Structure 1
Amino acid sequence: MPIRLENVGIAVRDLDAAVAFFTDLGLTLLGRDTVSGEWADTAVGVDGNHADIAMLETPDGTGRIELFQNRHPTMIETEPTLPYQVGMHRVAFAVDDLDEALAIAARHGCFPLRGVANYEGVYKLTYLRGPSDIIVMFAQKLVD
């Protein structure tokens, strides 16, 4: 059976801010919609599911992120995930210029958790907190 990753869904507290962050990084907004109704209740497994969504795609067309902000049920705040906790961990992006990516993130108030690491001279990489405390990783390949 062929299988491919369609998208990664991320719940956010401010859909507009999250869309602005990811489009500023270079993702393309494919569309926005509001979903609700019996089909959404069944698919998600939540009665009365009602959410605003935005679908974004990476410039190479191979990766998609679906951001969503619930209208119902009410969003529940949780403690931000830590890099060593079990569960959905991070979204990672390969970037050509890590400094440029960090400058864009900084315009949105997002900064590295600790700093920029050099992995054996092959990658420069860092984790940062994006909108809604999403852990975002940037990695710049240094050698081919």
Structure 2
Amino acid sequence: MPITLQNVAIAVRDLDETIAFFTDLGLTVLGRDEVSGEWADTCVGLDGNHAKIAMLQTPDCNGRLELFEYIHPDAIETSPTQPHEIGMHRVAFSVDDIDEALKIAAKHGCYPLRGVATYGDVFKLTYLRGPSGILLMLAQELNKS
């Protein structure tokens, strides 16, 4: 059976703030909607499911993020995921210039957890917290041919 990744969905505190962060990094908004009703309850498994959603896409059209802000039931705040915890971990993006990407992230109050590391002569990498505590990895390929 063929399988492809459709998207990664992330619940956020503030949809507009999170869209601004990701669009500044280069993603584009494919669409926005507000979803509710029996089909949404069935799909997600929550009674009274009601959320504002947005679908974003990477410039190469290969990656999509679905962001959603709950209207009902109330969103539940949890501690941000730590790099060593089991479960949904992080979203990783390849960037052409990690320093430029970090300048954009800083405009949104988002900074590396520790710094930028170099993995051999292959990548410059960093983890940072985005809006709503989303854990992101940025990776710049070195010696790209």
Q: Distance in 2 between matches of 1:14 and 1:98?
A: 25
Residues 66-92 of structure 1: CA deviation (Å, up to 9, x unaligned): 000000000000001000000110000
Identity %: 72
How far apart are 1:143 and its partner, in Å? 2.0
TM-score (norm 2): 0.98
Task: Give aligned pairs, total.
Answer: 144
Map 1:80-119 onto structure 2 (within 5 A).
80-119=80-119
Q: Which residue type is aligned with residue 111 of structure 1?
A: Y
The alignment yields a C-alpha RMSD, in angstroms, of 0.5
Q: Which runs of 5+ in 2 are unaligned?
A: none
SS at 2:21 equivalent? helix
SS at 1:62 equivalent? coil
1:46 aligns with 2:46: yes
Q: Which residue type is aligned with residue 117 of structure 2?
A: A
Q: Which residue type is aligned with residue 47 of structure 1?
A: D
- Tell me the residue number matched to 2:31: 31
SS at 1:81 equivalent? coil
| Structure 1: 4+ residue segments shifted above 4 A | none
Q: Distance in 2 between matches of 1:64 and 1:43?
A: 19
TM-score (norm 1): 0.99
SS at 1:99 equivalent? helix
SS at 2:17 equivalent? helix
SS at 2:105 equivalent? helix
How far apart are 1:2 and its partner, in Å? 1.0
How far apart are 1:121 and its partner, in Å? 1.6
- Tell me the residue number matched to 2:143: 143
